[in-house]
Structure 1
Amino acid sequence: MSTMAESGPDRLLEVQDLKVQFRPKRRLARPFQVLHGVSLHLGFGETLGLVGESGSGKSTIGRAILGLVPAAGGRIHLEGRDITHLKQRERRAVSKELQVVFQDPYSSLNPARTIGDTLSEPFLVSGTSGQDARKRVGTLLDRVHLPSDAMDRLPREFSGGQRQRIAIARALAPKPKLIICDEPVSALDLTTQARVLDLFAEIQQDTGVAYLFISHDLDVVRYVSDRVSVLYRGNIVEEGDAEQVTVDPQHPYTQRLLLASPLSDPDEQAVRRAAWHELNAGSTSWRL
């Protein structure tokens, strides 16, 4: 993955002291704080890995950037523009620069529409003719290494890995500068994961798009990221160069995440599992 400058005007995304809270359905119940003042930044053409276990708040950060959950505090800037509390019309304009690939590609694809219809929609809305839209869809499918006849098929006719490629193609359609990748390979087998991760890397090299790559797996974020931020209970507990954080983590929570990552070799997996149990049996003084 490419590494870009990370200061001043070279920052594509800057999140400052972000707080998010959810209000329980019960009346008079106190709001539950999910994020406790998270700050991070992302340069043009860079990949920032955001890693943490389920419930850590990592997906909430992505959803707040996308405007899907409201921020209770802090600021989110995209290319220097404050996008924290945009209205719906303003948010639609930002979507050309900011796209998302979710974990479950099937749920984000209309099962009754062909892939061509789904991928053509943003082009047709912008005034592109049907013939030109179909050509551009063909180009997108080629970009994600799917045959052109895929546009005439329904989502159910594809494997999980192929559906994720379609979701990536849809995210690429408006030529965004940033794609939020929310657990995009966690539902795939290890071999398919590697192929999709290689596709992400290839697309970034060719287009210069930046990724905020959200995952619970340190091995995955090591593979794709320039830098890594580790989230625990709504707080960043460790951050830095991807190689350092994912190979030689300093924080006990990051160490636990590393030992929890699956390995294809059963003997190595057994050693890692034993080390994980040993670490968890030790001191818990680090817990927030």
Structure 2
Amino acid sequence: MNETEQRSGAVSEDVLLDVRGVSVEYRVRGGGRRRTRVLDDVSLTVRPGETVGLVGESGSGKSTLGRAVLGLAPLAAGEVRLDGRVISGLTGAARRRLAGDLQVVFQDPQGSLNPAMTVRDIVLEPVVAAGTEPADAERDLRTLLDQVHLPADALDRYPSEFSGGQRQRIAIARALVRRPKLIVCDEIVSALDLTTQARILDLLVEIQERTGVALLFTSHDLGVIRAISHRVAVLFRGSLLEFGDVRDVTGEPRDPYTRRLLMAAPVADPGRQRERRAAYRAEFPLATAGR
């Protein structure tokens, strides 16, 4: 999947994930009771079988929004609904039961995979924890590994024996094993080389077409977002600047910040890259001062 490709095709108009007026605040370290707002009144939806991309620079709030959906960031305002049910504020057993519908793949597969466990144990852990007998859970394990394009002999190996891209495939398999309705993907290709990035993005598209799982996909790279998303939400300093169809937001962005992200995204052709860099410097001279 190259930089110019964009997602298309019919997606259900039903709403799977509904984020309504979400704000998140954190206490300022050393500031007593002072708090800083890192997300401010953000609203968006994700439909069944759809990928919504969250894009923005570091500190924009995109990962915080993913954490809010997962219940890892407490809300100062607003609510999060999944399949019509309010899930913000769930704790304990209620939050654990939600794992059948909502899963996550983190940025660093090496940090999120237990190095002392085999791939078999890593992937089976979520279903065994949910009460499924290991023998029953293992029945579909080889099919699942085939879906993420890992060899069958991977089951008895350890994460350290795999490349970064392969470890991310293991993490994706673990997220898929419960057959969730939505997976939050937090910068999952940012640490990978460009070739491996493209393979993981193609894999996610393939899995989505086969299973119908929805994705909330965060990235600082608008080129990656263009390739994987049906709709795009652009975040800047905790605020939602634009939200719409990927072709509209990346083809004719309304906000200067979105144009800046688009023009900063690298392209493979050296001539086009020089033209884009020159246009970027002409439109945003302050952003390039001193470079």
Q: Which residue of 2 aligns with 1:239?
A: 243
How big is the shift at 1:124? 2.5
Q: Which residue of 1 aligns with 2:16?
A: 12
Q: TM-score, normalised by structure 2?
A: 0.92
Q: Which residue of 2 aligns with 1:174?
A: 178
Q: Specify the SS of the correspondent of 2:67.
A: helix
Residue ranges of structure 2 left out of the alignment (5+ in a row): 1-6
Matches within 5 A, 1:1-288: 1=7, 2-6=9-13, 10-281=14-285
Q: Please say which of residues 215-224 and 127-136 is displaced more in the overlay.
A: 127-136
Q: TM-score, normalised by structure 1?
A: 0.93
Q: 1:23 to 1:5 in 2, by over 3 A?
A: same
Number of residue pairs aligned between Structure 1 and Structure 2: 280
How big is the shift at 1:98? 0.4
Tell me the distance in 2 between the aligned counterparts of 1:276 and 1:64: 33
Q: Please say which of residues 65-74 and 237-246 is displaced more in the overlay.
A: 237-246
How well do the aligned residues superpose, as a CA RMSD in angstroms? 1.6
- Greater relative contact order (Cα < 8 A, sep 6+): 2
Q: Specify the SS of the correspondent of 2:145.
A: helix
Instruction: Tell me if structure 1 keeps the 8 A contact 2:20–2:80.
Output: yes
Describe the superposition over 1:12-41 as per-residue Cα deviations: whole angstroms up to 9, x where unpaired: 011111000010231525200001100001
Instruction: Tell me if structure 1 keeps the 8 A contact 2:44–2:243.
Output: no
Q: Which residue of 1 aligns with 2:4?
A: none
Q: Specify the SS of the correspondent of 2:272.
A: helix
Q: Which residue of 2 aligns with 1:286?
A: none
Describe the superposition over 1:86-109 as per-residue Cα deviations: whole angstroms up to 9, x where unpaired: 122111011110001111111100
Describe the superposition over 1:176-199 as per-residue Cα deviations: whole angstroms up to 9, x where unpaired: 000111111111111111111111
Q: 1:104 to 1:238 in 2, by over 3 A?
A: same
Q: Percent identity?
A: 56
Residue ranges of structure 1 left out of the alignment (5+ in a row): 284-288
Instruction: Tell me if structure 1 keeps the 8 A contact 2:148–2:203.
Output: yes
Instruction: Tell me if structure 2 keeps the 8 A contact 1:219–1:246.
Output: no
Instruction: Tell me if structure 2 keeps the 8 A contact 1:103–1:183.
Output: yes
Q: Specify the SS of the correspondent of 1:95.
A: helix
| Residue type of the alignment partner of 1:181 | C
Q: Specify the SS of the correspondent of 2:180.
A: coil
Tell me the distance in 2 between the aligned counterparts of 1:122 and 1:95: 8
Instruction: Tell me if structure 2 keeps the 8 A contact 1:3–1:46.
Output: no
Tell me the distance in 1 between the aligned counterparts of 2:90 and 2:246: 32
How big is the shift at 1:249? 1.4
Describe the superposition over 1:139-189 as per-residue Cα deviations: whole angstroms up to 9, x where unpaired: 211110101110111111111111111111010010000011111111111
